[in-house]
Structure 1
Amino acid sequence: MPIPIHDSHHAPGALKRLPLLKASAFFIAAVCLCLCGLLYLQLEQSRRHDLALAEVASSNLTRAMAQQAEDTFMKADLVLTSLADWIQADGYDSIQLPRLQKTFARRVQTLHQLHGIFLFDKQGQWVVTSFQDLPRGSGVSDREYFKFHQQNVSSLAHIGPAIRSRENGEWIIPVTKRVNDKDGNFQGVLLAGIKMAYFDQFFKSFNIDEQGSMFLALTDGTLLARRPFVESQIGTSLAQGSIFQKHLPGANSGNAMIGSVVDGTVRLYGYRQLEAYPLVVSAASSKDAILKDWYATAFQSSVIVALVVMGVGLFGWVFIHQVRDGGRIEADLRTAQEALELIATHDSLTGLANRRLFERALDIEFGRGARQASSLSLVMLDIDFFKRYNDTYGHVAGDHCLAEVARALKSCCHRKADLAVRYGGEEFAVLLPDTDIHGALVIAEQIRRSVMDKNITHSGSPTGYVTVSLGCYSFVPTGRDSIEVFIQRADAALYQAKHSGRNRSAVLSMDGGVEALLRSDR
């Protein structure tokens, strides 16, 4: 029965290192994840805030563009309407032509966005313009706007794709009206050309980034004007872009982060369709420009958090290694403590408990026996004629004999509570808790026979082999008993067994006399 020197409930090893290591690693990982998570949440919130501000600015910009574009085309429309009414009422014979030319010129001077005003007959030839001289050429019967008015009786203004003026080659956006005679028949086309340069200057008045863009297009996607101005893109179709395919069908205005079909740059587009005319305006800022400051802040914050995470990780690595080293040191100390405890409580030759552990076990079993009113037995045994054995075979053989007897002794102690002890020299003891005298005698006889079965040659013994004598004593502790008396009575029984011829077991009665002597001859 192992009796520890220290109480395990108060041992330093009670705090387990493995959970501490896991808890430390989990805590460090949690701190790092929380820092990264907080950084992500802060950056994401900042990014959304910057994008929201950009959406507001984009919406305001497109609203201003739409208002300006609508005013520009409305002024041209009003001029054409008044001129068309005059022409339809008075015609454009040779008498009217000088007056028309002067009127056209005054209107152009009044509206600086106009390139010029032109009147074409039903064959598409020039009749009168705001310029002094009529252009020479084949006319405009091949133009889109002329064909449109030939085929449509509508008196509403028509805005066509951007063209180069045949007057001077300048890019213009044509705003045209159908001219009828008094009977409502097609008589010609009245055109007011809006300068492309006008919109270019207007677009430049807004502060957008270098990768930003602005455009004016027809509702069918035909590009009329754009910033930055790229001549080869004028007249191309934007109809396959996301604005015209996905967004405008659902709402006349809004914002969208999309890639441009013109140059592929990802931009935040604000778009708006004009109410009075079939036109769409859009202003866009590149995503990189919108998030430029955010990128800088994100980089700085990420570097700071990365350094903190590295510091925490380094500290955690050192701490975990310290804990591991501490655990190893503690394990070594526990091993050393167990070794010391074994040395302090066990006989090094036989491996049996020594007297120190025996005395402690007696204290414990006396108290337990008194509490439970259970019997406590002690068997004392001694190797017969051991001095002769040492003298005959030497001390090395004697030590071997002691070890063999100890093995026989341990083989007969079947319960964990039984304690086999080397009491001193060739004397041994077996403490048997919760065992009466009959049980002690049975164990004693088992031990005696087990030693004989070893067949250890002993020429100095009458039997020719090593034998043992045993004395047994048993009682029920009361709490006022003496350990010394308990050992003395078992020793007295052993003395009686040796005095009666050795190689036998003796039991001491409660009154101090020898109750029984047992011997088994081979």
Structure 2
Amino acid sequence: MPTPIHDPHDTLGGPLKRLPLRKAAVIFIAAVCLSLCGLLYLQLEQSREHDLSQAQIASVNLTRAMAQQAEDTFVAADLVVTSLADWIQADGFGVALTPRLQRTFARRVQALQQLHGLFLFDRQGQWVVTSFGELPTRQGVADREYFKFHQQNASLQAHIGPAIRSRQNGEWIIPLSRRVNDRNGQFQGVLMAGIRMEYFDRFFTSFSLDDRALMFLALADGTLLSRRPGAELRIGESLAQGEIFRHYLPNAPSGTAMIRSRVDGELRLYGYQQLDAYPLVVASATPEAVVLRGWYANAVQSSVIVALVVLGVSLFGWVFVLQVRNGERIEADLRAAQERPEVIATHDSLTGLANRRLFERALQVEFARGLRQQSPLSLIMLDIDYFKRFNDSYGHVAGDQCLARVAGVVKGCCQRPSDLVVRYGGEEFAVLLPDTDIEGAVAIAERIRHSVRDANILHSGAPSGQLTVSLGCHAFVPKDGDSIEWLIECADAALYQAKNFGRNRTQVASRERRSSDTHSRG
């Protein structure tokens, strides 16, 4: 490549920096692909949040409907029990009143489909009247939870107990009971309405839900009353350690929560609500996979479309980058082809160094810059000692090889891009050093001299037996009236002084102008 000849401090009119089109294309294509993926991610996240929000609304509505149905069921049964308890408490339940009570019980049960039966027990828990007519012959109910509750509590409020099997016919029922007192306020017995478990089972199955969805009715203490899907073995199970009863109900009587089941490990969206009138809790749970089923399908479809678009953009970008790279390669080849004549015209073919033509152009540029900026300019002239004898001893081929090797050594001693090493002619070289004073020039000259000597090039025609060089240095700050020729003359004169003083040395030119020395060089 040719050495650029321009003032590095002069930016006006300098060549524009080439836009890295290939890198810009890669960055643009990557940005487009990342933007598409980012937009897909944002769209899917928004869609997912929307679906979850809609599912939460649906879950709240479902639990509200469940709560309303449960409350209506128990309110109707409670009204029946309350009216009958007031009547019995006022009139008693002697033998004369038993037939009338039985008929009333039967009519009330027929009027409410959720009722399994109505039952009246005395203070010992023995059967007095039932809606079925005939009294069971088996034991009473003194061992039942609801009977013990009323026996031990004076409250006349309705009590809902854990689900039990009716001793009338073995059907699962939820007992709603009230205490019955005599006219003196003493415990007289218990009136109980059995609410069919089947009634809630039918209500739960009336909703179109996924098979993995859950619904349940439980007491406020977590005791399970009814469940969908039905599991008879789980009736009466305690849910008190579940997330809803431990963490959510204490903070809010209703709401939604995403909870992972400890039984099957599935993540479900729960909606829950505690009834206002009774110590009951209803809840429904839908698997997240079911809630987001439509979202998953849309996500797959959208991802496939975006993946195809990204693939298409990437393929187009790959082809475009290949075209750009091929264009750059062709342009580089053309540039190299255009520069090759310039290299031939400005560089020495044997050593690869700049020739005198390039040296003169560079010297003009640096001289003008030194004059403008008042910066020092140095020149080193060097000559191979006894080179004619070297050619005579080893031949011209070896002489050419020697010149190339010395050229490499000299170039290796000049590290700055602005330094210019020149084959001045024959076995003579020049080194142009911008922004360098005489001390710097001498230091570089000595480095060159020692490096050539240390190369250990045999030279039988030299007194030392090794190839050496002589060097002349001159440095000055250009002023008006100075000339390029004077710089060359001074450095050349210093070179002749070095040769006249015994060779293999560096000589600095005197300050006065000198004319060319015509002594022969050998």
Q: Is the 8 A contact 2:214 2:229 kept in 1?
A: yes
CA distance in 2, matches of 1:179, 1:324: 98
Specify the code of the residue in structure 2 equivalent to 1:289.
V
Distance 1:92 1:5, change over 3 A: same
What does the per-residue CA deviation read over 1:213-244, in whole Å, with 9 as the maximum and x for residues that have no partner? 21111101111111222211111111111111
Aligned equivalent of 1:198: 199
C-alpha separation between the residues in 2 aligned to 1:48 and 1:404? 76
Deviation larger for 259-268 or 330-339: 330-339
Q: 1:217-256 counterparts in 2 under 5 A?
A: 217-256=218-257
Q: Distance in 1 between matches of 2:387 and 2:210?
A: 113
How far, CA to CA, are the matches of 1:144 and 1:333 in structure 2? Answer: 102
Q: CA deviation at 1:32?
A: 3.6
* Structure 1 residues 331 and 150, CA gap change in structure 2 (3 angstroms): same
Q: Distance in 1 between matches of 2:330 and 2:260?
A: 63
Whether the aligned pair in 1 keeps the contact of 2:85 and 2:180 (CA below 8 Å) is: yes
User: CA separation of 1:344/1:174 partners in 2, compared to 1, >3 Å: closer, same or farther?
Assistant: same
Question: What TM-score, normalized to structure 1?
Answer: 0.72
Question: Do the aligned residues in 1 keep the contact of 2:213 with 2:285 (CA within 8 Å)?
Answer: yes
Gap runs ≥5 in structure 1:
459-466, 494-502
1:461 corresponding residue in structure 2? none
**What is the aligned partner in structure 2 of residue 165 from structure 1?**
166
Letter in 2 for 1:4: P
The correspondence of residues 409-428 of structure 1 with structure 2, limited to 5 A, is 420-422=422-424
Which residue in 2 is equivalent to 1:137?
Answer: 138
The alpha carbon displacement at 1:79 in A equals 1.0
In the TM superposition, what are the counterparts of 1:463-502 in structure 2 within 5 Å?
Answer: none
- How far does residue 31 in structure 1 lie from its aligned partner after superposition? 3.7
1:39 is displaced (CA, Å) by: 2.0
Counterpart of 2:72?
A: 71
Could you tell me how far apart the structure 1 residues matched to 2:352 and 2:171 are? 115
Residue identity in the other structure for 1:295: Y
Q: Which residue of 2 aligns with 1:39?
A: 40
Distance 1:80 1:331, change over 3 A: same
List aligned pairs for 1:324-335, cutoff 5 A.
Answer: none
Instruction: Find the residue that maps to 1:95 and give its secondary structure.
Output: helix
Q: Please say if residues 384 and 428 of structure 2, whose CA atoms lie closer than 8 Å, have aligned partners that are also in contact.
A: yes
Residues 3 and 361 in structure 1, CA contact (< 8 A), matched pair in contact too: no
Equivalent in the alignment of 2:59: 58
Q: State the Cα deviation string for residues 116-165 of structure 1 (Å, max 9, x = none).
A: 11111222221111113222211212211111111112111111111111
Gap change, CA 1:427 and 1:40, over 3 Å in 2: closer
Contact 2:116 2:173 in 1 (8 A): yes
Mark the CA change 1:394 to 1:305 in structure 2 (over 3 Å): closer, same or farther.
closer
CA contact (8 A) 1:59 1:254 kept: yes
Return the alpha-carbon distance in structure 1 between the equivalents of residues 71 and 233 of structure 2: 25
Indicate the residue corresponding to 2:188 in structure 1: 187
Distance 1:155 1:385 in 2: 132
Residues 254 and 271 in structure 1, CA contact (< 8 A), matched pair in contact too: yes
Number of the residue aligned with 2:18: 15
Partner of 1:500: none
Over 3 Å counting, the alpha-carbon distance change for 1:379 and 1:60 in structure 2 is closer
The answer to whether structure 1 residue 275 and structure 2 residue 276 are counterparts is yes
1:291-306 equivalent positions in 2, closer than 5 A: 291-306=292-307
Across the two proteins, how many residue pairs are aligned to each other?
A: 485
Q: Structure 1 residues 77, 345: closer, same or farther in 2, change over 3 A? A: same
Q: Give, in whole Å, the separation in 2 of the partners of 1:130 and 1:352.
A: 123
**Closer/same/farther in 2, CA of residues 108 and 426 from structure 1, 3 Å limit:** closer
| Corresponding residue number in structure 2 for 1:114 | 115
Q: Distance in 2 between matches of 1:99 and 1:176?
A: 20
State the partner residue of 1:216. Answer: 217
What is the rounded CA distance, in whole Å, between the counterparts of 1:412 and 1:169 in structure 2?
Answer: 111
Cα deviation for residue 283 of structure 1 reads 2.0
TM-fit CA distance, 1:351: 5.2
Contact kept in structure 2, 1:66 and 1:281, CA below 8 Å: yes
Cα distance change on mapping 1:142 and 1:343 into 2, 3 Å: same
Residues 262 and 482 from structure 1, CA distance in 2 versus in 1: closer, same or farther, beyond 3 angstroms?
Answer: closer
Between 1:343-352 and 1:404-413, the stretch displaced more is: 404-413
- Do the aligned residues in 1 keep the contact of 2:5 with 2:365 (CA within 8 Å)? no
* C-alpha spacing 1:145/1:348, structure 2 compared with 1 (3 Å): same
Task: State the match for 2:150 in structure 1.
Answer: 149
Contact 1:375 1:477 in 2 (8 A): no
Partner of 2:177: 176
The one-letter code of the counterpart of 1:15 is: R
State TM-score, norm by structure 2: 0.72
Change (3 A) 1:137 1:11: same
Where 1:246 maps in the other structure, the secondary structure is helix
Structure 2 CA distance for aligned equivalents of residues 392 and 286 of structure 1 = 99
Partner in structure 1 of residue 49 of structure 2:
48
Q: 1:455–1:214: structure 2 CA closer, same or farther, 3 Å change rule?
A: closer
Judge conservation of contact 2:7–2:369 (CA < 8 Å) in 1: no
C-alpha separation in 2, matches of 1:90 and 1:409 = 133
Q: Give the structure 1 partner of residue 4 of structure 2.
A: 4
Shift of 1:324: 6.7
Instruction: Tell me how far apart the structure 2 counterparts of residues 269 and 429 of structure 1 sit (CA, whole Å).
Output: 91
More displaced stretch, 326-335 vs 81-90: 326-335
2:64·2:273 contact (CA, 8 Å) conserved in 1?
A: yes
Per-residue deviation, 1:271: 1.0
| Structure 1 counterpart of 2:162, one-letter code | P
**In structure 2, how many angstroms separate the alpha carbons of the residues matched to 1:266 and 1:374?**
82
Q: Is the Cα–Cα contact under 8 Å of residues 383 and 427 in structure 1 kept in the other structure?
A: no
Counterpart contact for 2:267–2:287, Cα < 8 Å: yes
Are 1:163 and 1:173, in contact at CA under 8 Å, matched by a contact in 2? yes
